[in-house]
Amino acid sequence: MGLRLYPAIDLKGGQVVRLRRGDMSQATVYSGRPGDQARTFAAQGFGWLHVVDLDGAFAGRPANAAAVESILAAAPGVPVQLGGGIRDMRTLDAWLARGVQRAILGSAALKNPDFTRAACAKHPDRVAVGIDARQGMVATEGWSEASTMTAVDLARRFEDAGAAAVIYTDIDRDGMLRGVNLEATLALARAVTLPVIASGGVASLDDLAALAAVASEGIEGVVIGRALYDGRLDAAEALALVADR
């Protein structure tokens, strides 16, 4: 199959927002009704939703549970991948039991690899590793902390663990509409056997076409955020482009 599109619903204070480079002080509010946004994406024909509890990512525990529940209820036929604040098995089990199809472990993947491996083993193909990087180096805790680990080295840790995918976000591109960091994303996809989902910077159909052209090299999908909300990217055109590949 071709490139899969994941429209993003980022949650802050129960509202749908987009950040610039992960800066919580630069949040643009797009909707106060996350369920309605999920319903809109479902009606447009998207096959997945990418949901992030931004407050949870910083707090280390779920902080927008009601908003996530409203998304699950509003689009029951569309699988949801959820990240932000999932740091222990109890939280992970609870979300998967409530209807989340795939959980994203980000900070936990770097700081608690044993838990991440156990989660992948317990829930095969339902746990993705979220790798957020700035200039190739992994950042955690809602991107507020830098590490000395490269994105490739972190991804390789979980190749044999049963992870569903790696979601790779280029922090410097996120919310900036500057285009995807194709070079870094492709380098990661070529370095590991796990499917890679690109995130950060999609601004146009050209970006999607560039990713679709190399999808066979391990790039499974792409998260789209601000370009959809600002109207720079038409949902129907985007879906048609990847369907034709």
Provide the 10 A C-beta neighbour count for residue 21: 15
Concerning whether 207 is annotated as a catalytic residue, the answer is no
Smallest Cα–Cα separation from 99: which of 129, 75, 124?
A: 75
Structure tokens at 221: 């999908």
Nearest alpha carbon to residue 72 among 44, 127, 104, 35: 35
| Catalytic choice (10, 55, 170, 174) | 10
Q: Contact at 8 Å (CB) between 224 and 233?
A: yes
Q: 40-79 as b/e, with b when 16 or more CB fall inside 10 Å?
A: bbbeeebebbbbbbbbbbbebebbbbebbebbbebbeebe
Which of these is catalytic: 132, 170, 174, 207? 132
For the four alpha carbons of 83, 85, 89 and 91, in that order, the dihedral sign comes to negative
Q: Give CA–CA dist 24/72, Å, rounded.
A: 24
Residue 125's CB is within 10 A of a number of other CB atoms, namely: 12
Confirm whether 23 is a catalytic residue.
Answer: no
Measure the CA angle with vertex 96, ends 91 and 102; round to 5°.
105
Which positions are annotated as active-site residues?
10, 132
